[in-house]
Amino acid sequence: MGRNRIKSAVTGTTRTSIQVLLAEDVQSLGEQGDVVRVKPGYARNYLLPQGLATIATEHNKRMVERHIVRVEQARTDKIKAYRDLAASVSKYSVTLEANANKDGHLYGSVVSRDISEALKSSGYTVEPEHIMLEGPLKELGMYTVKVELHADVKTEVKVWVVPSAEA
């Protein structure tokens, strides 16, 4: 009865390692979609029960490849939409009214939330975290504010801070 009769319980296994397909990013092991070799106990006791990995069968590999193509297409579509938004935002200027003293210093300040709300009210879906202010605007005047919609899509918008009309 030699060693040749021992069969692996799971396809792709050996006595010392098993191939798994990562379903999630696992620190110091790999990223989602990677096929990695790990110890059978690590796979059986941690990766598989936690849903972090699955056995690397050909079917699972094909499914991950299809999923990666769909995710990449969605990412490309999202970046295209951001580029279109950036092109229209760069042509727009925001006017915000604020209370100020006679020297032009504001009693409050204008922050990214104020700019975002003004853009949203004009039909541009720009979140406050997309507005890159170096600090709050505290004086009247015209400012060029950077807008980062995505790591690859950046633009600028002109912001006019004017005194509020007194009743």
For residue range 103-130, what is the model confidence (pLDDT) as tens digits? 889 998 999 999 999 999 999 999 999 9
Residue that is last in its domain, among 44, 62, 82 = 82
With the CA atoms of 69, 56, 39 and 1 taken in that order, what torsion angle do they form, in degrees rounded to the nearest 10?
Answer: -160
Averaged pLDDT for residues 83-101: 92
Phi, psi of 124 (to 5 degrees): -105, 125
* pTM > 0.75: yes or no: no
The CATH code of the domain that includes 129 is 3.10.430.100
- Reported as a single tens digit per residue, the pLDDT across 140-149 is 999 999 999 9
What is the pLDDT, as a whole number, of residue 6? Answer: 43
Residues 74 and 97 placed together within one structural domain of the fold: no
Report pLDDT for 3.
Answer: 46
Residue 43 has pLDDT above 60, yes or no: yes
Q: 45 — phi, psi (to 5°)? A: -95, -20
CB atoms within 10 A of CB 147: 23
Confidence class for position 4, pLDDT limits 50, 70, 90 = very low
Is 87 inside a domain boundary? no
- % helix / strand / coil in the chain, to the nearest 5? 35, 30, 30
* Separation of alpha carbons 50 and 2, rounded Å: 36
Distance, CA of 19 to CA of 133 (rounded, Å): 48
CA-to-CA distance for 102 and 125, rounded, in angstroms? 34
Same domain flag for 72 and 106: no
Average predicted confidence (pLDDT) for the chain: 86
Please tell me the predicted confidence (pLDDT) of residue 166: 63
Parent domain of 78: 10-82
pLDDT at position 2: 45
